[in-house]
Amino acid sequence: MTVHNSKALAPFLETVKKLKAYGEALGVLYWDLRTGAPRKGMDMRSEVIGSLSGDMFKLSTSPELGEWLSELEQPETFSGLSEIERKLVTDTREEYDRSVKIPPKLYEEHVVICSQAESKWEEAKAANDYEGFQPYLEKVIDYTQQFIDLWGPKETRYDTLLDQYEPGMTVKELDKVFGGLREQLVPLAAAIAASKHQPDTSFLRQNYDKQAQKAFSLRILKQMGYDFEAGRLDESTHPFATGLNTGDVRITTRYLEDDVTSALFGTIHEGGHALYEQNIMAELDGTTLSTGTSMGIHESQSRFWENVIGRSKPFWQHNFAALQQQFPGQLDVTLDQFYRGNNIVQPSLIRIEADELTYNLHIIIRYEIEKMIFNEGAKAADLPAIWNDKYKEYLGIEPPTNAEGVLQDVHWSGGAFGYFPSYSLGNMYAAQFADTLERELPNFWELVSAGDLLPIKEWLSERIYKYGKLRTPSELIQNVTGKPLDPQYLVKYLEKKYSEIYKL
């Protein structure tokens, strides 16, 4: 094979590096804003972020970049590139085409509209005023529709939106997996609700010292193999993880004084995201491939660590005594009571407070509604009624107000249609990965109950984390588990876990 040393390669790689550098700089600016930047500097900071984002956008849509891409895409040239270079070319091309198709003026209008809609949403949620919010939501939907037209609809219009967050994911596939999931989770949730063996959770609600909570969170992060020389733990109102580069992956948490598990499971969740970003192969350093491959795969890791590991009995067999010591006299319950208390399942109105099982129904409802908007012409005016009907059908409860219903999430006001499915994809991926992991590491649960989580982190690093964006989500799930995404793994996992807890 002849290696075609195109002149476009060096400036192309230089541009990729620069885009990554902008990304890291913006990442630090956002992290700083959310972890204690002084209030009075925020307006100017927004302008700085706007300025840098604008430069980054300009660079990512420059005609030169388009020319280099075209040159590198010539079959003879392309085949002479390394695997990483090829993936950089295809990924950058996708992003490039997506970006250049939106006229800058339209994009800027969209940013303004979303910013106004987000502000209005906050007010409307507080005042339970859907009618006040509706015209803003209509505008955001209208711009999104224009974007779909400009990008070009895929198999369905909503497919175009899904692809932004989960490359390659389609309505066809999601209908299948979410359909299967819904059919089995709705009766399971009903059986759980009818069980006489409901866990007690009252002991979780006491005044738990914040410093002790922090100490315990640090203990668990260390156990997971989070590298504190390549990260740090801070506080913020909304917990998050941010991968600046593989040597600097930060997490934040929020300590609630009246809830011992909120910060703990939040920290494990963000720690899962962080392990992913800390363990990407060095060959991808400084490129746009050095990050998680999709929202869904990222969420699979946060949820694997939070739910599959963190809410398991073996995990607490190792850690419960230490938690009791951390809060002397406050956790006077048995391991079994503690385990059951942390795994209560209850239909509820609010997604972000939902348990591991019913959470998926919240997502399926949002998925179905988004599909109705973009594929079936559902109108903003109809959404509250659609929302409430679905909650009644799938969860057996109906929101008494729109604030507790259709107004609860920020996503739509920001134009993030197509994002919600990632959360449940994460749960499904996690269960399917866990199934393979249990077979390939036969002493998996012994390791967990011994607090020896590092072999698990190593397995995940070797099979998933190290590839960053080099593999697509569907390649990853196929390569790691030998099968395409299948919701039955999640269903089986949930059935097994909750049959035991609720003695079904």
Binding site for Zn(2+), residues?
269, 273, 299
**Nearest approach, Cβ of 286 to a second copy (angstroms)?**
6
- CA-based Rg of the chain, rounded to a whole angstrom? 23
**Nearest approach, Cβ of 108 to a second copy (angstroms)?**
15
**Nearest approach, Cβ of 232 to a second copy (angstroms)?**
6
- For residue 251, the tally of other CB atoms under 10 A from its CB is 26
Interface positions with a second copy (CB under 8 A): 17-18, 21-22, 24-25, 28-29, 32, 36-45, 47-48, 51-52, 55, 227-232, 244-248, 250, 285-286
Q: Nearer to a second copy by C-beta: 21 or 504?
A: 21
Q: Distance (Å, rounded) from C-alpha 377 to C-alpha 17?
A: 42
Are 252 and 34 spatial neighbours (Cβ–Cβ below 8 Å)?
yes
Q: Nearer to a second copy by C-beta: 25 or 218?
A: 25
**Nearest approach, Cβ of 282 to a second copy (angstroms)?**
11
Q: In what order do the strands lie in the sheet with 233-235?
A: 233-235, 248-253, 241-245
With left for phi above 0 and alpha for psi between -120 and 50, is residue 329 left, alpha or beta? left
Q: Nearer to a second copy by C-beta: 38 or 329?
A: 38
Q: Distance (Å, rounded) from C-alpha 383 to C-alpha 31?
A: 34
Phi, psi of 243 (to 5 degrees): -95, 105
DSSP bridge partners of 233: 251
**Nearest approach, Cβ of 55 to a second copy (angstroms)?**
7
Residue ranges of E strands in 170-288? 233-235, 241-245, 248-253
Q: Nearer to a second copy by C-beta: 52 or 212?
A: 52
Q: Distance (Å, rounded) from C-alpha 430 to C-alpha 477?
A: 10
Q: Distance (Å, rounded) from C-alpha 279 to C-alpha 321?
A: 30
Q: Nearer to a second copy by C-beta: 226 or 387?
A: 226
Using DSSP's 3-state secondary structure scheme, residue 421 falls into: helix
Q: Nearer to a second copy by C-beta: 37 or 113?
A: 37
CA dihedral 364, 370, 375, 376 (to 10 degrees): 90
- The alpha carbon of residue 353 and the mean position of all alpha carbons in its chain are separated, in whole angstroms, by 16
Binding-site annotation: residue ranges: 269, 273, 299
Q: Nearer to a second copy by C-beta: 10 or 21?
A: 21
Using DSSP's 3-state secondary structure scheme, residue 137 falls into: helix
Catalytic residue among 73, 94, 183, 270: 270
With left for phi above 0 and alpha for psi between -120 and 50, is residue 456 left, alpha or beta? alpha
Q: Distance (Å, rounded) from C-alpha 360 to C-alpha 340?
A: 20
**Nearest approach, Cβ of 246 to a second copy (angstroms)?**
8
Q: Is 94 a catalytic residue?
A: no
DSSP state string for 469-503: TSS-HHHHHHHHHSS---THHHHHHHHHHHHHHTT
**Nearest approach, Cβ of 264 to a second copy (angstroms)?**
22
Q: Which residues are catalytic?
A: 270
